[in-house]
Amino acid sequence: YSSDEYDFGYYDFSQQNDNIRAYLGESNALRIGVELKALPAIAVRTGYVIQGSGVVPDDTYYEGPKQTVSFGLGYSSPGSFYADFALRFRFMPTEFLIPYSYYYAPDASNPYYKVIDDSILTPEISIDSTVADAFVTVGWRF
């Protein structure tokens, strides 16, 4: 981010830019696809994608790659009509959330007062998700 020092409302984005450099990196993707023409008017398709996170891993956080598998069927008439149907399944990396970073424990000297007890572990949530999509495309060439 940048701002011209002569702009009205000039702001120094150096802290934001430092955070971007520290926590975000490159993300790579590998895509593979195959299409077979079963008949002159019918095409069968499949594909696979593996994509990296883009978040710089450290000793407390690592986000694995996202994987996508797709299947499709296409029809193209001898005239101008065509139709495509596709299914896509996206397998997201396991995500870990810690909703509470602390635990309140009663104070022994005053039961109405609570203190933060760092020795008690808080719950951790593990989220595994798969997203499924279906697509239909219908058209006419002219």
Q: Which residues pair with 125 in a beta bridge?
A: 97
User: pLDDT higher for 141 or 95?
Assistant: 141
In the predicted model, what is the mean pLDDT of the chain? 85
Please determine, for residue 91, whether its predicted confidence score (pLDDT) is greater than 70: yes
Distance between CA atoms of residues 46 and 134, nearest Å: 14
Q: What is the pLDDT of residue 131?
A: 95
* DSSP H/E element including 51: strand 42-51
Tell me the whole-structure pTM to 2 decimals: 0.66
Q: What is the pLDDT of residue 76?
A: 94
State whether the Cα torsion 73-87-90-139 is positive or negative. positive
Number of residues that this document lists for the chain: 142
Span 64-68, mean pLDDT? 90
Neighbours of 117 (CB within 10 A): 12
